[in-house]
Amino acid sequence: MVVDGRAPDPREARSTPEFIALLRLLKDASGLTFRELSQRAEAVGDVLPRSTIANMLGRTSVPREELLAAFVRACGCGPEQVADWLAVRKELAVHGERAGTAEASGAAPEATAGYSSEPPTVPLPEPAPARRRRPRTVVAAAVALVVLAAAAVTVTLLVRDDDDRPESRRVTGPVAGGTVQIRSVHSGFCLSEKRGSDSGRLYQVPCEQETIPSFSLKPLDGDAWRIVTDHPDYDLGCTGVWDGMRDAGAGLQDQECGKRGDAEEFLIESVGRPVEGYRIRPAHTRLCVGAEGNSEERGAELVQTSCDGADRGSLFSFDPVAEGTAGG
């Protein structure tokens, strides 16, 4: 917890997921962006790229010691706090879990109230809620989407024949309203989060399996679109670029709408005549969405990347999903 502007105590973590959640809470409490954290680290001789921070906060294993130390220092923690974080990290790396909290371990009472014993170097403001969206059980009523009629452009596309990819697929353009699977023309896989993860990161998975969340498209002013999500655990949200980052390589993430400005608005452009697929371009950078490294592998993460020479790796189809069906 963060109370009265003080940092979360890493000794509260009993497992690696709890440890990573406390790191996210520390970042939120600092009130600093990824860019500001990177700049603060550089000012004291640490190396802490913004993309590395994003990867660390979305991982399922403890970070490297030097990365963890640089991050907590940049968040405003003093030497004793850094030592606490490193000690807990070492214990989790060796044993995978911890027996109990700081209070159970016999720490002094003044250090067991959910904070480190030393206040951070920089006062930390009250954090945003740790969850990326409100759970479905808290939502009083579903938000209705405006469904507009639009024509879908479809053509036949030949795709390499292998175990996961049929010989031909139809490329379908964006249509307002209605559930779609967003399919990579390059790999034949569909966008999905990992079941059980709360990071909101998007990966490519076989379209035939159940993909989460469900996606639909909402037109905005001009030529922009919003990719609206409906998650079984986190309710309605929007797809956007992680923390509004502008760098190539920044991951796509589903989160509560309105957190990232135009980093959760997209331009959707057709490519080829006849249409070979559609580029998805974040409005704040005009880069392209694609699998990391133009990968055709199952499980590759979706990121914003350069559009140059990458058409085959950054083209998508918006395949309508019949109501009540899972997968493709």
Dump pLDDT digits (tens) for 273-317: 888 899 999 999 999 999 988 888 999 999 999 887 655 678 999
More reliable by pLDDT, 166 or 244: 244
Contact (CB, 8 A) for 10 and 19 = yes
**What are the distances in angstroms from CA 157 to CA 76, 302, 308?**
53, 22, 22
pLDDT surpassing 50 at residue 252? yes
Q: Indicate the pLDDT class of residue 197, thresholds 50, 70 and 90.
A: confident
pLDDT at 118 over 80: no
> In this predicted model, which residue has the larger pLDDT, 12 or 326?
12
Among 176, 170, 262, CA closest to 216: 176
Mean pLDDT of 86-115: 60
- Is the pLDDT at 222 greater than 90? The verdict is no
Question: What rounded mean pLDDT belongs to the chain?
Answer: 77
Determine the pLDDT at residue 40: 92
Structure confidence at residue 136 (pLDDT) = 44
- Amino acid letter, residue 166: P
What is the percent of the chain where pLDDT is above 70? Answer: 73
Q: What does 261-279 look like in DSSP terms, one character per residue?
A: GGGG-EEEEEETTTT-EEE
Does residue 188 surpass a pLDDT of 50? Answer: yes
Task: Give the global pTM.
Answer: 0.54
DSSP code of 42? H
